[in-house]
Amino acid sequence: MRIAMIGSGYVGLVSGACFSDYGHDVTCVDVNQDKIDQLNNGEIPIFEPGLQALVADNLNAGRLSFTTALASAVAQADVVFIAVGTPSRRGDGHADLSYVRAAATEIANALKGFTVIVTKSTVPVGTGDDVERIIAQANPKANFVVASNPEFLREGAAIEDFKRPDRIVVGIEDERARPVLEEVYRPLYLNQAPLMFTGRRTAELIKYAANAFLAMKITFINEMADLCEKAGGDVQAVARGIGLDKRIGSKFLNAGPGYGGSCFPKDTLALVKSGQDFDAPLRLIETTVAVNDQRKRAMGRKVIAACGGDVRGKTIGILGLTFKPNTDDMRDAPSIAIIQTLRDAGATIRAYDPEGMDMARTIIEGIEYATDAYDVATGADCLVLVTEWNQFRSLDLDRIRQSMATPALVDLRNIYRRKEIEDAGLSYVSIGRGADSGDHDGDQTAATQ
């Protein structure tokens, strides 16, 4: 199949590379010439494990190419995927569909022959109808159908998720799209990936509903963590105890500083706005958004409390800046609000992240960026573990203690045991472990966001 992928950001690039790896002829389109030049030279503008090698292999095989020429890519394509950004619109929180609409107009003017146009961007319910209307108005003679095919890719594990998906959701209103998209995903039949066909609006809602449910799950266990701290429980044991119930499951039950990233914050907010638009308010999601926003600042106050209630003039070391490990994504990362809270209280910040430093420098100014975890600890009055990168899981605690001005660790991801830290001579504060609770290991792998 000949595929045009409009948008070479995270979703478009991963999807395009994976489709080409299945043998399809894929052209990824982007308006940014510098990005296209980088990609054609094998340079990847984002960090995603395995992506650079995948792109290079398929570039060399001639199955994958990058261009700014949308018209020629669309004219030759059997399937056109729209994978442009849908950020939160400033001022009201609605999804900004300007890029989707602009792409639809350009696609309309370039269509040649029957073409299936697929929205892969995360879009509010009814967007497929808008895309169909825009194309029909711009090119009344166009022979096309519009489908929805939302992505369910986790940053840091996107290639694995694409190649071994839990499900492939395809929303259609015209049966002519079915055999085409079955052929696009035919290579996945070997992995027995369920291909689920629904109505187009249903597919659009599935994406938002999935992300909102997971965001609620994270927020629920974070509130349980607060209760555990007050009541003397252990949130990791609570999470394991409820996660063993197959109706609940263990994933997304790690207490922490709140969710962030490119999906959950904007998608929960957009879903709330859709509920309001359709006069079907989503109270649980509204509360989830509010609680999560408040939690990030609360984590900054937790660090201040661990430092005796005052951080003015103190140096706080931050381990991890990205919203999760194995990505360089800083969008809505909890570290941003935590650092701002600490700076507002008069602290000096020194931070390190294995992959997110370049992106962080464009977002967080006025802090010192360190060379590694031990550089962060040197002279620090408190060390705060914000993102659970693997390299932070087995730090040389004796070296950490000796280099710090005040040996104290605030572990916002619960990756260490209290006894282990205290035996090394550091004070220890974690999430959701009351003073009288035990110190159990949680399921640290199953709950990764």
Stated pTM of the model = 0.93
Q: Residues 277-289: pLDDT tens digits?
A: 999 999 999 999 9
- The separation between CA 90 and the C-alpha centre of its own chain, rounded to angstroms, equals 20
Q: What is the pLDDT of residue 405?
A: 97
* Residues 238, 243, 244, 250, Cα dihedral to 10°: -130
Q: What is the pLDDT of residue 438?
A: 54
Domains and CATH numbers, the chain: 2-198 (3.40.50.720), 236-429 (3.40.50.720)
Q: What is the pLDDT of residue 92?
A: 85
Q: What is the pLDDT of residue 117?
A: 98
Percent of the chain with pLDDT over 70: 96
Q: Is 266 exposed, middle or buried (0-12, 13-18, 19+ CB in 10 A)?
A: buried
Q: What is the pLDDT of residue 437?
A: 56
Provide the pLDDT confidence category of residue 393 given band limits of 50, 70 and 90.
Answer: very high
- The separation between CA 128 and the C-alpha centre of its own chain, rounded to angstroms, equals 23
Q: Which stretch of 19-23, 130-134, 186-190 has the lowest confidence by average pLDDT?
A: 186-190
How far, in Å, CA of 362 to CA of 359, rounded? 5
Q: Residues 135-154: pLDDT tens digits?
A: 999 999 999 999 999 999 99
What mean pLDDT value characterizes the chain? 95
Q: Residues 226-253: pLDDT tens digits?
A: 999 999 999 999 999 999 999 999 999 9
Q: What is the pLDDT of residue 379?
A: 97
Residue 365 structure tokens:
């100014």
Q: With contact defined as beta carbons under 8 Å apart, do 373 and 391 qualify?
A: yes
Q: What is the pLDDT of residue 445?
A: 39
Percent of the chain with pLDDT over 90: 93
Q: Which stretch of 59-73, 89-103, 112-126 has the lowest confidence by average pLDDT?
A: 89-103
SS3 label, residue 327: coil
Which are the catalytic amino acids? 263
Q: What is the pLDDT of residue 430?
A: 97
